[in-house]
Amino acid sequence: MGKRRYITGFDGLRAIAVIGVILFHLMPTKIIGGWLGVPLFFVLSGYLITDLLIQEYDKTQFIAPIKFYIRRLKRLYPALVCMLLISTTIILLFDQQLIYNLRHVLITNLCYVYNFWAINNGQSYFQQFGGASPFTHLWSLSIEGQFYFVWPFVVWGVLKLRFKKIYVFLSLLLLSGISAILMAALYQPDAINRVYYGTDTRLFAVLLGSALAFIWPSTALRPVVNNKARNLLNSTGTISLIIMIGGFLWLNGQKNGTYQGLMYLFTIVITVLIAVVAHPASWFSKIFDNRFLNYLGKRSYSIYLYQLPVFVFYEKFVPNYKTSFLNMMIEVLIVLGISELSYRYVEKFFRYTKSFKNIAHWFVASRNRFFGGVIVILMYMLFLGNGIIDHRAGIALPETKLQKTLKKNEIEVAKRNAMAEKKGQTSTSKKQKKAALTTDQKNIVSTYGLKSEQYLAFKDLPFKAVGDSVMLDAAPYLQEVNNNMVVDAEVGRQSYQTPQIIEQLAKNGKLAPNMLIGLGTNGDIKRTDLDQIMKIFGKKRQVYWMNNFVQSRSWQDENNKMLLEAAKHYPNLHVINWFELAEQHTDWFADDGVHPGAVGDRNYVRLLVEKVSQVNHIK
């Protein structure tokens, strides 16, 4: 066995992983697969830890688990605890809403079981719209912590029993495949947390890295190889890198295929790239070894810890926050600044301190410093303790008024849909004769600010609405003005899911001559999806599409611009400018600034009726 070598290029890979995660959080519709930085961390961790444990056994014929645990704790725990303390302080001082469940979040993270708790209690990693948690990303640290707890004994056992390393490699490869199969089998689109946060369904990435260490030990890789071997390394690395970048840009974490094999295949590609970078003779070992990437890579742990808390708190505390290049740059600079302090004064201090005697000596070197420090620490702990024993810290966040409204709407809409569909089956095709308005109808006309002619022309039109939570919020008002309106709206619905929904409605004969679409609250609307939807609708069906008012989200303007361009191409596509009206009346909206209240909902409906009247030339 040779001396342990520092693997050049791995800091570069860490940097790429953390850049991907940051860009995903800042621009989720542009770097749609940036979350794949986490599997990259997992494979790296599996490889490095296993490689070091094998080296330890080869040198001493023994693996010391306790010493291993101490090294891992010194490396990871202080920075985690520091981040939790800072975030908790900010919550207790400035953001009372995040106190709910805080005790559970802190305890599970300190015990490295947060991912288990998050399966049933945490937010979806991909749908944190409004009230986002600054701790959601910590699930990955729990999986690594569980791996570190068990793995020294596993490596020690297989080496002591003298199993051939190729057999160990194949066994770990098989186990990784079983983990991937579990992910596919347990995946449910409406319960994504189970497979995304589950140790059993995410362990394949760590196992692939560990398997690699048994057949590709860092100390056995020679810095000088023949041209054929070097060319093979470099060409393999190039292909792997291109695929990895493609995954960062295009692999959507909310699509079924991702959990039905694509994530596993992508992780295999990452493992191949790591093997190439680990080899000192490869070109990639050198190009990933540069000042910029090494700087970020060495601080990647602190950057990963602090990036989400900074993004969450910055967006909450900056008045009228809007996604912009300037705001994103400020957020990144804050993350880098805090991470630098964490790296210098927390990570390095505890990692390289030989004993805690030095820490004690720093306190007692000066009597004033000692007593002053004790007083400050006691006051701080008393403050934290009072916050954590707050009854809210141990219970789930109560449903907001908006959440209650949306749940109530789901029930009411289902009933009205059944009535509308039953009425549609028995109604005649005769045109509605102009009649005098009843008292109730006059009230509707007055309340919604409509003209009698517009209301009479609209109220019996056959309509089908498909949308997300904003439409669900407005659904009772839509159905109050039009009894024939059937609404298919769902919280968290993404535009890419809609073509399949529309296609199924078409197969079942449930499309109406008039369609209302309301999408884009939760992400970008791709032109390809819109084109597919319009193709299913055909040229004769009239399509009314509400544009977006999504404060602080980067995709708002892009979606609205795309809709206007699409309307030029499709004569039967009519864009309703909800954004223009909503922007002038932000006081209508709920706390999230996206879902309109009763007044907003009525105006939402009024815009639709006016647009339909305009299309049908009704004054």
Q: Among residues 469, 495, 554, 613, which one is catalytic? A: 469
**Rounded to 5 degrees, what are φ and ψ at 275?**
-60, -40
**SS3 call for 402:** helix
Q: Among residues 133, 595, 601, 613, which one is catalytic? A: 595
- DSSP 8-state secondary structure symbol assigned to residue 71: H
- DSSP 8-state secondary structure symbol assigned to residue 354: S
Q: Which own/partner pairs from 398-402 qualify as long-range (CB within 8 Å, at least 24 positions apart)?
A: 398/100, 400/590, 400/591, 401/590, 402/473, 402/590, 402/591, 402/592, 402/595
Strand 573-576 relative to strand 542-546: parallel, antiparallel, unpaired? parallel
**SS3 call for 161:** coil
Dist CA 38 CA 205 (whole Å)? 9
Dist CA 329 CA 529 (whole Å)? 31
Strand 573-576 relative to strand 485-489: parallel, antiparallel, unpaired? unpaired
CB neighbours of residue 38 within 10 Å: 22
Dist CA 441 CA 64 (whole Å)? 80
Q: Which residues contact 419 (CB under 8 A, 6 or more apart)?
A: 483
Active site residue 574: no
Count the alpha carbons within 13 Å of 447 in the hemisphere toward its beta carbon: 16
Q: Which residues contact 264 (CB under 8 A, 6 or more apart)?
A: 176, 177, 180, 183, 204
Active site residue 137: no
**Rounded to 5 degrees, what are φ and ψ at 201?**
-90, -10
Q: First and final CA of the chain: distance in angstroms?
A: 88
**SS3 call for 221:** coil
Active site residue 469: yes
Cα dihedral 41→168→275→11 (10° resolution): 30
CB neighbours of residue 320 within 10 Å: 8
Task: Give CA separation, 74 vs 196, 295, 381, 470, in Å.
Answer: 28, 21, 22, 47
Q: In terms of Cα–Cα distance, which of 515, 512, 506 is closest to 544? A: 515
Dist CA 252 CA 499 (whole Å)? 16
3-state helix, strand, coil in the chain (%, to 5): 70, 5, 25
Q: In terms of Cα–Cα distance, which of 330, 277, 334, 271 is closest to 303? A: 334
Q: In terms of Cα–Cα distance, which of 133, 57, 51 is closest to 88? A: 133
Dist CA 91 CA 317 (whole Å)? 12
What are the residue numbers of the active site? Answer: 469, 592, 595
